[in-house]
Chain A
C-alpha cells in the first residue's frame, strides 16, 4: 500500500514539475477560448442509447417494470389502436401532456411494431441539464434532447436522421406539462418536424394522468386513465407548420371530446367546429379550475349540493 501511495505521489510530483504536454497549456493571451462542448442540454449525445445493449436494457425495463407499474398506477383504457393499421414505417406520436406519467404510459401502450423503436422528444433544458439526468432519460425513456423554446436546426436534423433510420418519435407539442389541468396551445415543433420529415403524425389524447402525478407533485397516486389514438395526419400540400399545428391541436381536442363523450357526438362537434377547447376558458384563477371540473364529464361529481 505504501509503495502504491509513494508511486502515485511521485507521479503527481512529476506532473506538477513538468510543463506541457504533461500539464494543459493556458489559452494564449488575446485568443478566444474554444467553444466548450457541453455534452449536456441539446449537445447531449444519445447515440449509445439506441445501440443494442441499451435497447435490450430498456425493453426489459419497459416490459418488466414500466408496464406493470403503469397497469397498477394508471389502469389504462386504450382505444383507437386500429387507426394505426394503415401505417407502414416511422411516425410521430403527438400527445397532450399533463404529467411525468405520460411518457411511461405511452411507452407501455403504443403497440408494436413501434413500441421498441421509439425515441421521446424531451426538453433539453430539463431532462438533459446534467449528464446523469441525460443518461438516465436516454436509457430508460429513449429520450432525445429537443430545444423547446424553438425547433433549432440541430434538433430538427437529429430527428430527421432518426426518422430516416426508422425510429418513431413521441413528442408533446405543448412543450411542457400542464400547470393547471387544462391543455396549452400546441407549439409548431411537432408539425414542423412532420413537414420536414414527411411522415404522418398520430394525435393521441391522454386523459387522467394529471391525477396520478400532476405538475408540482413528487409522489404518484393511482387513478384510471384513457389513451385515445387518432387517425394519422399528413400536412396538406404547402401547409405551413403553424396551420398544421392548429390542425393537430384540433384533432387532439376532438379525441378529448371522444374520450369524455362518445365517438358520434365528438365527430358531430368536430365537423361543426364546436369541440370543447383543450386550453380552457380565457379566464384567470379559480374560474379555470371551476370550469375544469365542469368539463370533466367522466368524473362529473356534484360540487354543490342540490337543494
Chain B
C-alpha cells in the first residue's frame, strides 16, 4: 500500500562518468563526502535497489519448517519429548547495521520453540554462535531473540553466549582429510538436534560455516582463518573459488559423520539498509534522483555531522536500525538449503561489471561486522576495505593486479578498550614491527591466541578473542598481495602509516599519488557501497 514500494526494484548498474555526471557520494566513516571523479575514464557501480520483502514472513517461516529442503524430515517430525535440543543463532555481526525489531532470529526461534513446546521438548538450550567474537550483552541478546524468548530462557541459564575457551564446553569431533581439527561446542555435539538460525547478509555467510565456525574455537578456526586460506580464496564471497568455503565444508562433513544432526534455517534480507524513506534514505538513492528534500536533508546532515564531536556522531549512527525485510527463508539439510540461500543472495546483490580497473575507490562507512556498538579502529578499517569490500567480487577482482585501492575513511587512532583490547597491542606492537601477514602469523599469532589475559577478557568481559585482530589482518591478505598500493583519503596520517598505507588529504591528491604506480590517465572504478552489492566481473 505504500506508494514508494510500488515501483519495481531496479537492478544495479555501472555508470560511465562524463562531464555532466554529478559528484558521487562517498561514505567517510560517520560523515560523507561528495567527490567528482575524472570524466571519460571513471565509472561508478551502483547497487541494485531493495527487492520486495516477503509479505507474510511468519507464514513463510512456518512453511519452511514443515517443508524442508534436501534430505531432512519436517522439523515437527524431528522433535520428541525426551530429546536434547540446541538452537544456535548468528551473533551481533549480522545483519549490518542491526535490523529493526522484530529481528528475523526472533521470528524463527519463536516458531521453532512453538513446535518444540507442542512436541513436549524439555531440554532446550539457545546459544549465540559467536565463535571468538565478543559476547553479546543482554540488550543485544534481547534485540536478537526478543524479550519473550530471553525472559523464558536466559534467567535459568539456558540462553547464553558460546564460550570457545571453556575447556569443559568444547570438544574435538575429529579431523578432516586435510588434517584440520574440528572443534565444536560440547552441548551442540551432544544434542539430538541442533537447529541453526542464520541471517545471510553476504554469500560468505551460512552453510557449514554457521556451525563449523560459529560453534568452534581457536583450535578449529586456525585451520582456515589464516593467510594461506585467504590468499587462496579468490574471493571468499565466491563459493566456487573459496578455500575458506572448502575448509568449512570439509569440517561440516566431519561434524555430520560424528553424528551431529543439524536442521539449518537460512534467511536472506534485501539491501534496504537506509530505508526507502526517512532521514537516511538519501544514502541509497542515485545522486541525480535526489529530490529537493533529499538534497536539503543531506546538506543539513552533512553540516550537522561536521560540527559534532565524533562520539556524538558514533552514537547517532550506532542507534540506526536498518529496515531490512526478509526476502527468503529455507530450512532443512545444510548444503541443499545453502545452495538456494546463495541464489537468493545473488538475486539481490549481483551487479555485472565489464573488466578490471587500475584504481578502485571506496567510501568506507561507519560500521563493519566487528564494531557494532563500538569503535571502528584502524585495523577494522583495513579489514573492511581490503577484506570485505575488495572481496565483494566473483570472477576477477575489480582492480587489476598491481593496481591501487583508495579508501576514504577518517581512520582515527582510536580503540574500544573493552571490546578490542588485543587490537590495541596488535596495533602498537605487531604492526610497529611488520605489516607482512605471513611474518605476523609466524611470529605473533600463537602468543596472542594463548594469552591468558585476553582469554579471561573474552570469557568474562565483552572482548574479542586475543587472536581476532590477526584474523582481521589476514582477511585483507589477498588484497595486500594483489595490490600495488593502498591509499587512505582523509585518515589520521600516523594511523595510516602504521597500517603500512599512504595517506592523502583529498581524492585528487590520492589519484595523483596512485598514478606513480598505475601510470597517467588510469581507469577508475568506484564502489558505491553500502547498500551491499557483489560485482560479477567479466
> Chain A interface (Cβ within 8 Å of chain B)?
19-31, 34-35, 37, 39, 43, 45, 47, 154, 157-158, 161
**Segment touching A, from B135-143, B154-162, B285-293, B357-365:** B285-293
Q: Does B77 contact A (CB under 8 A)?
A: no
Q: Does B307 contact A (CB under 8 A)?
A: no
Do B34 and A20 touch (CB < 8 A)? yes
Chain B residue nearest to A157 (CB atoms) is: B1
Do A25 and B7 touch (CB < 8 A)? no
Do A47 and B1 touch (CB < 8 A)? yes
Chain B residue nearest to A23 (CB atoms) is: B295
Do A31 and B15 touch (CB < 8 A)? yes
Residue interface bits B12-23, CB-to-A below 8 A is 1, else 0: 010111101111
Within 8 A of A (CB), among B1-30: 1-4, 6-7, 10, 13, 15-18, 20-23
A23 to B291, CA, bound (A): 10
A30 to B34, CA, bound (A): 22
Write 26 A-B pairs (CB below 8 A) sorted by A numbering: A19-B23, A20-B22, A21-B34, A21-B287, A21-B298, A22-B299, A23-B295, A24-B288, A24-B292, A25-B21, A25-B288, A25-B290, A26-B22, A27-B288, A28-B16, A28-B21, A29-B18, A31-B15, A34-B289, A35-B7, A37-B4, A39-B3, A43-B3, A47-B1, A47-B2, A154-B6
Chain A residue nearest to B287 (CB atoms) is: A25
A157 to B295, CA, bound (A): 33
A20 to B292, CA, bound (A): 11
CB of A197, distance to nearest CB on chain B (Å): 15
CB of A29, distance to nearest CB on chain B (Å): 6
Q: Which of B20, B34, B290, B295 contacts A28 (CB 8 A)?
A: B20
Do B3 and A37 touch (CB < 8 A)? yes
**Which residues in A have their C-beta under 8 angstroms from that of B6?**
37, 43, 154
Do B1 and A158 touch (CB < 8 A)? yes
Chain A residue nearest to B286 (CB atoms) is: A34
Chain A residue nearest to B21 (CB atoms) is: A28
Within 8 A of A (CB), among B281-332: 286-292, 295, 298-299
A24 to B295, CA, bound (A): 8
**Which residues in B have their C-beta under 8 angstroms from that of A154?**
6
**Which residues in B have their C-beta under 8 angstroms from that of A29?**
18, 20
Do B16 and A30 touch (CB < 8 A)? yes
Given contacts A24-B290, A45-B2, 19 further A-B contacts (CB under 8 A): A20-B23, A21-B298, A22-B295, A22-B299, A25-B22, A25-B287, A25-B288, A26-B288, A27-B289, A28-B15, A28-B16, A28-B18, A31-B13, A34-B10, A37-B4, A37-B6, A39-B3, A157-B1, A161-B1
CB of A131, distance to nearest CB on chain B (Å): 13
**Which residues in A have their C-beta under 8 angstroms from that of B16?**
28, 30
Q: Which of B3, B18, B287 contacts A20 (CB 8 A)?
A: B287
Interface of chain A, helix or strand or loop or mixed? loop
CB of B34, distance to nearest CB on chain A (Å): 7
A45 to B17, CA, bound (A): 36
Do A31 and B7 touch (CB < 8 A)? no
CB of B297, distance to nearest CB on chain A (Å): 10
A126 to B460, CA, bound (A): 68
A43 to B10, CA, bound (A): 18
Chain B residue nearest to A35 (CB atoms) is: B7
A25 to B44, CA, bound (A): 16
> Chain B interface (Cβ within 8 Å of chain A)?
1-4, 6-7, 10, 13, 15-18, 20-23, 34, 286-292, 295, 298-299
Query: 10 nearest interchain CB pairs?
Result: A25-B22, A25-B288, A21-B295, A20-B22, A34-B289, A27-B288, A45-B3, A28-B21, A25-B287, A35-B7
**Which residues in A have their C-beta under 8 angstroms from that of B3?**
37, 39, 43, 45
A192 to B15, CA, bound (A): 44
Chain A residue nearest to B15 (CB atoms) is: A28
**Which residues in B have their C-beta under 8 angstroms from that of A19?**
23
A30 to B13, CA, bound (A): 12
**Which residues in B have their C-beta under 8 angstroms from that of A37?**
3-4, 6-7
**Which residues in B have their C-beta under 8 angstroms from that of A30?**
16
Chain B residue nearest to A144 (CB atoms) is: B1
**Which residues in B have their C-beta under 8 angstroms from that of A24?**
288, 290-292, 295
**Which residues in A have their C-beta under 8 angstroms from that of B7?**
35, 37
**Which residues in B have their C-beta under 8 angstroms from that of A20?**
22-23, 34, 287, 295
Do B18 and A21 touch (CB < 8 A)? no
Chain A residue nearest to B19 (CB atoms) is: A29
**Which residues in B have their C-beta under 8 angstroms from that of A22?**
295, 299
CB of B528, distance to nearest CB on chain A (Å): 13
CB of A177, distance to nearest CB on chain B (Å): 28
Q: Contacts A20-B34, A21-B295, A21-B298 given; indicate if A31 touches B288 (C-beta within 8 A).
A: yes
CB of A151, distance to nearest CB on chain B (Å): 16
A122 to B166, CA, bound (A): 67
**Which residues in A have their C-beta under 8 angstroms from that of B22?**
20, 25-26, 28
Do B299 and A21 touch (CB < 8 A)? yes
A305 to B21, CA, bound (A): 81
A26 to B292, CA, bound (A): 13
CB of A66, distance to nearest CB on chain B (Å): 27
A39 to B16, CA, bound (A): 31
A97 to B298, CA, bound (A): 50
CB of B25, distance to nearest CB on chain A (Å): 9
A157 to B3, CA, bound (A): 13
**Which residues in A have their C-beta under 8 angstroms from that of B13?**
31
CB of A12, distance to nearest CB on chain B (Å): 14
A254 to B291, CA, bound (A): 55
A210 to B298, CA, bound (A): 55
A24 to B6, CA, bound (A): 24
**Which residues in A have their C-beta under 8 angstroms from that of B288?**
24-28, 31
Q: Contacts A21-B34, A21-B298, A31-B15 given; indicate if A26 touches B1 (C-beta within 8 A).
A: no
**Which residues in B have their C-beta under 8 angstroms from that of A34?**
10, 286, 289
**Which residues in A have their C-beta under 8 angstroms from that of B290?**
21, 24-25
**Which residues in A have their C-beta under 8 angstroms from that of B21?**
25, 28
Chain A residue nearest to B8 (CB atoms) is: A35
**Which residues in A have their C-beta under 8 angstroms from that of B18?**
28-29
A98 to B395, CA, bound (A): 65
A31 to B20, CA, bound (A): 12
**Which residues in A have their C-beta under 8 angstroms from that of B287?**
20-21, 25
A39 to B18, CA, bound (A): 32
**Which residues in A have their C-beta under 8 angstroms from that of B299?**
21-22
CB of B281, distance to nearest CB on chain A (Å): 13
Do B20 and A26 touch (CB < 8 A)? yes
Chain B residue nearest to A160 (CB atoms) is: B1
CB of B306, distance to nearest CB on chain A (Å): 14
Chain B residue nearest to A43 (CB atoms) is: B3
